């Protein structure tokens, strides 16, 4: 039973671990780019009137919402898998 559970958890984490690493990278690249690339960040981005610094800071908000949504979908699937497996076990 435990091996099967660990298999499910590992499979889920294979996806979630890279996502959280990417979130950290995306988040910490903002202060780092402001520290090390201030000139680039102060240039106007592809949206007229918006600099890269503002665009990057704004993007953190939809990033948070999107990543939360991805987690929710994945976690729901994981719960269903576990429930299905539990039902099979109890039969």
Partner 1 sequence: MNLTYFLFFICIIVCTLIITYWAAKRSNTTNRFYTAAGSLTGYQNGMAIAGDFISAASFLGIVGMIALNGYDGFLYSIGFLVSYIVVLFLVAEPVHRLGKYSLGDVICSRFPSDRMRWIMAIGAFSISILYMIPQLVASGYLLRLLLDIDYSISVLVIGGLMTIYVVFGGMVATSWVQIVKTVVLMSGTFLLSLIVFSNFNWNVSALIEKVKGGTPLGENFFLPGHLFNNPLEFFSLQLALVLGTAGLPHILIRLFTVRNTLEVRRSIISSTWIIGLFYIMTLVLGLGTVALLGYQSLTNADPTGNLAAPLLAKEVGGDFLLAFVSAIAFTTIVAVVAGLVISATTAFSHDIYHHILKKGKSTEKEQLKAARWTALIIGLVSTLFALRLETINVTFLVSMTFIVAAASNFPVLVLTIYWKRFTQVGAITGMISGLVASLVLVVLGPHIMNPEDGWIAREAIISLHNPGIIAIPIGFLGAYLGTIFSSKQSQSDESYTRFFIKSQTGISSRRESS
Tell me which residues touch partner 1 (CB under 8 A): 2, 5-6, 8-9, 16, 19-20, 23, 27-28, 30-32, 34-35, 38, 41-42, 49, 51, 53-54, 57, 60-61, 63-65, 67-69, 71-72, 75-76, 79, 82, 86
3-state secondary structure of 44: strand
Nearer Cβ to partner 1 (14/67) = 67
14-26: b (≥16 Cβ within 10 Å) or e:
eebeeeeeeeeee
Q: To the nearest whole angstrom, how small is the minimum distance from the Cβ of residue 75 to partner 1?
A: 6
How far is the C-alpha of 77 from the C-alpha of 83, rounded, in Å?
Answer: 10
């Amino acid at each position: 039973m435990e091996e099967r559970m660990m298999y499910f958890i590992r499979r889920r984490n294979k996806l979630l671990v890279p996502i959280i690493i990417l979130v950290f990278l995306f988040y910490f690249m903002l202060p780092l780019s402001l520290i090390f690339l201030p000139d680039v960040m102060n240039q106007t981005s592809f949206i007229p009137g918006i600099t890269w610094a503002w665009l990057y800071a704004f993007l953190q908000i939809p990033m948070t919402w999107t990543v939360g949504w991805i987690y929710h979908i994945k976690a729901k699937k994981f719960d269903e898998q576990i429930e299905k497996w539990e039902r099979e076990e109890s039969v």
